[in-house]
Amino acid sequence: MVVITNQSGVGRGYLTRETLAAIHNKLGEELGRRGAVVDAIYYCPHHPEEGCECRKPRPGLFLTAIRELGVDPEVSYVVGDRERDLEPGKSLGCKAVLVNTGPPEVDVAADFTAPSLLEAVRWIIGNGVSPEKPRR
């Protein structure tokens, strides 16, 4: 599993990279304790107005994951609670799963809409993919 996240709090000065690294370490530990493997966490630290290539919905971090980890988007899923999370994955060929826990999003084209992250994972497993095995 690869986590790709916008963290403009860094660019806005609300959050240091060190604090974010601690949060990401904790996330990895908690998920690992439950049997989920986080292969990498990529984040955009920039302020939205910087116009960088890595802030979702731009595909920069997805392309980095493809290059660095050998992720094959054609057999991968993108999971998120907002259109901007899904869009870069969809544009690269991933199947999209909308987790409907965030603010209501209308007209989001997804292959599946799940009421929770757990249900998203169950649907993905039902499609014959183990989220615990990295695709390399």
Residues that bind Zn ion (CB under 5 A): 44, 46, 52, 54-55
Interacting residues of 16 by C-beta distance below 8 A, sequence separation 6+: 10
DSSP state of 69: H
In b/e form, how buried is each residue of 38-49, taking b as 16+ CB within 10 angstroms?
A: bebbbbbbbeee
Reading the block at residue 135, the tokens are 């695709």
Instruction: Pick between residue 56 and residue 90 the one whose CB is nearest to Zn ion.
Output: 56
Shortest Å, Cβ 46 to Zn ion: 3
Instruction: Pick between residue 54 and residue 71 the one whose CB is nearest to Zn ion.
Output: 54
Instruction: Pick between residue 52 and residue 69 the one whose CB is nearest to Zn ion.
Output: 52
Shortest Å, Cβ 10 to Zn ion: 9
Taking a C-beta distance cutoff of 8 angstroms, is the pair 55, 44 a contact? yes
Instruction: Pick between residue 59 and residue 73 the one whose CB is nearest to Zn ion.
Output: 59
Shortest Å, Cβ 102 to Zn ion: 21
